[in-house]
Amino acid sequence: MATRTDAPTRREQILKEAARLFAERGFHGVGVDEIGAAVGISGPGLYRHFAGKDAMLAELLVGISGQLLTGAKRRLAEADGAARPEAVLDSLIEGHIDFALDDRPLITLHDRELDRLRDSDRKLVRQLQRQYVELWVEVVREVHPGLAEPAARSAVHSVFGLLNSTPHLGRPGSLPGRAATAALLHRMARGAFAAASPAAG
């Protein structure tokens, strides 16, 4: 989503507008016709791409969890043991900040609508998220070796909460600029991990 540079497909356009509308008005507050109108097709035309709103919501939430995990694995593979642990952690933070700034409606959707997914989809989201967390825990403990695994996991969840606060920062135009906001979030994330380390005391 946020990392693509080529033109989005019609399916991706539909998902983007569905995410925006669901985040603004809630899942039950948006009709198929409205999503279709947002992308210039009739509501019934959406059924050529998705079985319904439930299918869109599932693809959005399962999809972004999978993308975050895939992106983190790619960043670790690119480091290939050659980069310092601090640089790897910085790369992970940068990747999550890109998501937090560029896909803000998905954060709102996850918070509000995850329980609407059928059990199998919700379990898949949780499974992908656990794998994502464990990648971070391993890197955080390399940077802060004195941090026990449970504490590192708690720190990772806390940093995710910090980074995922972007829907509450105000409208994009009210922020100090994307680069400045990203830099601020990055400093705060690194500071939170440092504060969690026993060495900070």
**Distance separating the N- and C-terminal Cα atoms of the chain:** 40
Q: Is residue 193 part of a domain?
A: yes
Look-up of token digits 């009210």: 174
Q: Is residue 39 part of a domain?
A: no
Q: Is residue 10 part of a domain?
A: no
pLDDT in tens, 92-116: 999 999 999 999 999 999 999 999 9
Main-chain phi, psi angles of 12, to 5 degrees? -65, -35
Do residues 33 and 46 lie in contact, with contact meaning Cβ atoms separated by under 8 Å? no
Q: Is residue 93 part of a domain?
A: yes
pLDDT in tens, 108-140: 999 999 999 999 999 999 999 999 999 999 999
Q: Is residue 119 part of a domain?
A: yes
Is the pTM for the entire model greater than 0.75? yes
Domain containing residue 118: CATH number: 1.10.357.10
Determine the Cα–Cα distance for residues 60 and 57; give it in Å rounded to an integer: 5
Residue 31 tokens, joined: 């009709």
One-letter amino acid identity for 39?
V
Q: Is residue 153 part of a domain?
A: yes
Do residues 65 and 132 lie in contact, with contact meaning Cβ atoms separated by under 8 Å? yes
Full residue range of the structural domain in which residue 144 is found: 53-200
For the chain, the domain total comes to 1
